[in-house]
Structure 1
Amino acid sequence: MKRIRYHHGDLRATLMDACLRLIENEGLAAVSLRRVAREAGVSSGAPYHHFADRAALLSALSIDGFQQLATYMITARAASPDPLTALTELGDAYVRFSREHPAQFRLMFRPELSQPEKHPAANAAGDAAFNVLVDTVADGVAAGALPADRADTLAVAWWGLAHGLASLWLDGHLEKRSEQMGTHAPELVDTIMRMFTTLIPPDPSTA
């Protein structure tokens, strides 16, 4: 097998990329450190320089995924003119991330594989991504556009909506339903996220 060349210090990234390719092509069940090494074109012992076992590798991919997701959301929030628009844009960013990184997205929400209880950094990365949403909701509360007593509930509701749309799209259901409705999946996602923000009552204390 032709070995993939990588610069010194890039072995970890090379192995992570190889693992994602393996997941995309053959599924999570195909992942082992030996198979990842073969996919990367390195020796069978090379992965152990960076990952103690399969779960450690999958945890690293989960952490990287949540960090990328947070970046998508932070960028969307920064480009939005107000908190309610930001919530819509965050939803679009969440779904877009899932579309651009489907294998990684699925892995991020499979704790039995990455074993976050043994790798707490995975939980921390997930919390950091979620906190981008929490901070955006807090902006809405501060602006009087969202009720303070429902802030936590709204954050979870938004997450459930965005994650559900992302999962439906990855499974092929959203595109099918969009066609039946005479629209396209990206437009449907945007419409639903905007509809969500219009249904939220403002903070009554500011009325």
Structure 2
Amino acid sequence: MALSIRLCGGFAMVTTATAPSFSNRIEPMTISFQEIQALADDNTVNTAPVISVNPDVFRGSMGSRSAKLTRTQPHAMATASPKRARKSPVPHRLRQLPPQLREPAYEKGGLRNALVEEGRKMFEENGAMELSLRALARRLGVSEAAPSRHFKGKEELLAAIAVSGFVELAEQRKGIAAQNLPPFAMAREMMLSYVRFAQAHSGLFDLMTGPRLLREFVRGDVEATSNISYSFFAESVFSLARESGWPEEQMHYLSHAAWSMEHGVAALILADRIPRTDSNLDLEAMIDFSINSFLVAVVGGPHRFAEICAPIMPKGREKGAARPAPARA
């Protein structure tokens, strides 16, 4: 015999039937309250959620196939089959984009470096007019908002590109300083490195040294990195000047004169103004001659400089006329 108990509209319907092996039809049975309680504990009972049997409303007879049971506070319970343990929710996983739509992953600081490097290529290929943060983002395959996390705008990106140029020039001059060349050869190589860098990176050189950058950015990293490059160059000029007897108060005049020489040659070359077409000069020979002439004048020392220049110096500019350094003990 099987007993089925299920909830229906706030009541539990209890139905009994004999096993099919004894009869082809369901036979009603008279069951007592005690029998319902006993059968409710049996494993064969198919029961609804927790119910209790109320004998006051129990109706059972040979002609009845069901009895009504009310839901009450649990005191005589027909225990339901144990509930299955709830599975922990599976974490929601975002579907990955196809490789061609994914943004490349960069380590900390890597995206900024990539933006500067690729921005420098774009600048040298097409100039500042064609450079934009959006175009740069598309070229790198990142979102259009990604560059704005590192640069406020195009001007700040241009300043960072200029910084990369000064860093490269400083590395070149650092390598020259490590060679421990004689003073004349050292100063010569430092000045030549400036001209060669300008020839190799004409657009970048113009950005680094021209008026294109806003003043607010020049006074930051641009100025700091340019000072590093300049310090290697200036020290080579100081070394040659000290060896030639120049006083310390004249050192910065000499380094600025040397800087003017190298920059003037570089700027005229980039403007395609030298050598003049009617001169038939070899460009490399002209560069060497210009730099060597200046350095030979430094080697000539302050005595010869004062002898030639002092009589023609305007009043108030006597500082420009060199005075010999005091004799060394």
Question: Which TM-score bucket, shorter chain as reference?
Answer: 0.7 to 0.9
1:105 aligns to 2:205 (yes or no): yes
Q: Which runs of 5+ in 1 are unaligned?
A: none
1:85 aligns to 2:177 (yes or no): no
Pair 136,6 (structure 1): closer, same or farther in 2 beyond 3 Å: farther
In structure 2, what is the Cα distance between the partners aligned to 1:100 and 1:7? Answer: 32
Q: Secondary structure, in 3 states, of the residue corresponding to 2:213?
A: helix
TM-score (structure 1 length as normaliser): 0.82
- Once the 2 structures are TM-superposed, how far is the Cα of residue 78 of structure 1 from its aligned partner? 3.4
Report if aligned partners of 2:137, 2:147 keep a CA contact under 8 Å in 1: yes
How large is the RMSD of aligned CA atoms in angstroms?
2.7
1:25 aligns to 2:164 (yes or no): no
- Identical columns (%): 26
Number of the residue aligned with 2:234: 134
* Residue number among 144, 152, 176 corresponding to 1:52 in the alignment: 152
* Residue number among 92, 95, 112 corresponding to 1:12 in the alignment: 112
Q: Secondary structure, in 3 states, of the residue corresponding to 1:64?
A: helix
Which moves more between the two structures, 49-58 or 151-160? 49-58
- Once the 2 structures are TM-superposed, how far is the Cα of residue 192 of structure 1 from its aligned partner? 0.8
* Residue number among 153, 161, 168 corresponding to 2:253 in the alignment: 153
Amino acid at match of 2:297: L
Amino acid at match of 1:191: F
Number of the residue aligned with 2:296: 198
- Once the 2 structures are TM-superposed, how far is the Cα of residue 145 of structure 1 from its aligned partner? 5.1
* Residue number among 265, 269, 284 corresponding to 1:186 in the alignment: 284
In structure 1, what is the Cα distance between the partners aligned to 2:246 and 2:280? Answer: 32
Which moves more between the two structures, 8-17 or 155-164? 8-17
Higher strand share: 2
Q: Which runs of 5+ in 2 are unaligned?
A: 1-99, 303-323
Report if aligned partners of 2:159, 2:217 keep a CA contact under 8 Å in 1: no
- Once the 2 structures are TM-superposed, how far is the Cα of residue 28 of structure 1 from its aligned partner? 1.4
In structure 2, what is the Cα distance between the partners aligned to 1:191 and 1:147? Answer: 26
Q: Secondary structure, in 3 states, of the residue corresponding to 1:29?
A: coil
The Cα offsets for residues 115-143 of structure 1, whole Å up to 9 and x where unpaired, read as 44576121111122212222122222432
Report if aligned partners of 1:62, 1:114 keep a CA contact under 8 Å in 2: no
TM-score (structure 2 length as normaliser): 0.54
- Once the 2 structures are TM-superposed, how far is the Cα of residue 170 of structure 1 from its aligned partner? 1.7
In structure 2, what is the Cα distance between the partners aligned to 1:118 and 1:94? Answer: 19
Higher helix share: 1
- Once the 2 structures are TM-superposed, how far is the Cα of residue 33 of structure 1 from its aligned partner? 1.2
Amino acid at match of 2:288: D
The higher radius of gyration belongs to 2
The Cα offsets for residues 41-90 of structure 1, whole Å up to 9 and x where unpaired, read as 43211212322222221121121211211122222333363222222111
Q: Looking at both structures, which has the greater relative contact order when contacts are Cα pairs under 8 Å and sequence separation is at least 6?
A: 1
In structure 2, what is the Cα distance between the partners aligned to 1:25 and 1:168? Answer: 21
Number of equivalent positions: 203
Q: Secondary structure, in 3 states, of the residue corresponding to 2:231?
A: helix
* Residue number among 155, 159, 168 corresponding to 1:68 in the alignment: 168
- Once the 2 structures are TM-superposed, how far is the Cα of residue 93 of structure 1 from its aligned partner? 0.4
In structure 2, what is the Cα distance between the partners aligned to 1:82 and 1:39? Answer: 47
Q: Secondary structure, in 3 states, of the residue corresponding to 1:28?
A: coil
- Once the 2 structures are TM-superposed, how far is the Cα of residue 185 of structure 1 from its aligned partner? 1.7
